[in-house]
Amino acid sequence: MSDLQEFNKRLREFLDASPTPFHAVEEMRLRLQEAGFSALDERGEWQLEQGKGYYLIRNGSSIVAFRCGKDPVHERGWRMVGAHTDSPNLKVKPTPELHRHGYFQLGVEVYGGALLNPWFDRDLGLAGRVNYENAQGQLRSALINLNRPVGVIPSLAIHLDRDANNNHSVNPQRDLPVVILQSEESSDFRALLADALGAHGYKDVSAVLDFELSFYDCQPAAMVGWNEDFIASARLDNLLSCYIGLESLLTADTSEHMVLVCNDHEEVGSQSAVGAQGPMLESVLRRIAGDEITWQRAIANSMMISADNAHGIHPNFSDKHDGNHGPLLNAGPVIKNNVNQRYATNSETSSLFRRLCVSSDVAVQSFVVRSDMACGSTIGPLTASAIGVKTLDIGVPTFAMHSIRELAGSKDAYNLRKVLTKYYQLDSVVDAV
Ligand SMILES: [Zn+2]
């Protein structure tokens, strides 16, 4: 197997094992632990050592991993990469039970800007966090992953909706309740969950109290296309970047200070205790720095690369892109620009990135949205404005962003890993341009 094939195999395994941000963080934790990184407890004292790697997790869904460099951080700064762990999906409502015509359905809330049509007629698994009380009366939490088709949202047949191919909109309240079983008796979802926890090895559950559970597509990630030019999977936005960031952090051979931050809640605006608009990254960096002046000097010597997917130009809809800014799949990472600061890229940070791409033998592309269309955003501008660090927004071009199954080029993640590894190893992110 070639290096590229090995990389894509590991990437697919990560995507399949990470149906929710909780699982993605757990998968990252396992890989960090295996690579010798140590867990930090924010309630305890920290004894950080040169050359050692550490990580800390909040809410089980956001993670900061870092390696301490050899020289003082105020002289060298941090080379940082950021991404987000969450993706649009359907989440089970707190009291989800619906009993209609002998079918037991679960009501769902739409998380983030999901493309809803692709959710119909899929084999849906269910995963997330369940909080319960155990036999001793203690509160406990558990991760579960029902990785089998436990639910489905059947389409309405075209014979009953003759207009479906011309004019089909989705009403999330009416159309999305998920069918999970058929029974004449009423079922209690929490009781079903208690059974599921038992099957996951949690034998001391006395009552399920609450949960954060997401439906997801059971179909695993796959190489797609006649020559396997593409990789198809759920949650490429943005687990692809989480994985690339993690691989880069673990592969980089350097004595510089490196940071990887992967935040939850980007798809809903990042304004939360563990989102990119919250204090997580800043409080970790301040604690590493120790005092205010060290922190300020370190930030002035630092840089953040925010990695989140970009829109590749779609051959059937090429008028949706500016003619000079239509990124192609498998043609390199995309620098994302927006003068209105929806992306944090500036010409200094993008120049540095271009040179990194050249020295990594990787092509690079530019994206700016059509001047008559609104621009998306990501964690880059939020982090830049929160901690005042110079920032670059980049990403792998994809199709079908926010669909239940997205598509990327099979070479782009591998190539971006090469570039970000080089970035982590840069001597300086201040004088490089
Ligand atoms: Zn994203």
Instruction: Please name the residue that has the structure tokens 């005092």.
Output: 291
Specify the CATH number of the domain 3-87+234-425: 3.40.630.10
Residues 90-117: tens digit of each pLDDT: 999 999 999 999 999 999 999 999 999 9
- Say what the pLDDT of residue 376 is: 86
> Given this chain, do its domains 3-87+234-425 and 89-217 carry the same CATH topology?
no
Q: How many A from CA of 136 to the centre of ligand 1?
A: 41
Residues 364-382: tens digit of each pLDDT: 999 999 999 998 888 888 9
Fold of 89-217: Aminopeptidase i, Domain 2 (2.30.250)
Q: How many A from CA of 112 to the centre of ligand 1?
A: 10
Q: How many A from CA of 238 to the centre of ligand 1?
A: 5
Q: How many A from CA of 266 to the centre of ligand 1?
A: 7
Beta-bridged to residue 38, according to DSSP, are 54
- Say what the pLDDT of residue 184 is: 87
pTM of the model: 0.97
Q: How many A from CA of 235 to the centre of ligand 1?
A: 9
Q: How many A from CA of 201 to the centre of ligand 1?
A: 34
Residues 213-230: tens digit of each pLDDT: 999 999 999 999 999 999
Instruction: Give the distance from CA 210 to its chain's centroid.
Output: 24
Give domain limits for the chain: 3-87+234-425, 89-217
Q: How many A from CA of 200 to the centre of ligand 1?
A: 31
Alpha-helical segments (H) within 63-188 = 73-76, 172-175
Residues 138-194: tens digit of each pLDDT: 999 999 999 999 999 999 999 999 999 998 899 999 999 999 999 988 889 999 999
Q: How many A from CA of 308 to the centre of ligand 1?
A: 5
Edge-to-edge strands, sheet with 53-58: 38-39, 53-58, 62-67, 257-263, 78-84, 303-307, 390-395, 334-336, 365-367
| Single-letter code of the amino acid located at 358 | V
Alpha-helical segments (H) within 267-378 = 280-289, 292-300, 347-359
Instruction: Write the CA distances from 70 to 79, 80, 289, 422, 429, integer angstroms.
Output: 13, 16, 14, 18, 16
- Say what the pLDDT of residue 430 is: 82
Residue 432 has pLDDT above 60, yes or no: no
pLDDT band at 431, cuts 50/70/90?
Answer: low
For residues 384 and 395, give the distance between their C-alpha atoms in angstroms, rounded to a whole number: 17
Residue 272 has pLDDT above 90, yes or no: yes
SS3 state of residue 318: helix
For residues 54 and 49, give the distance between their C-alpha atoms in angstroms, rounded to a whole number: 10
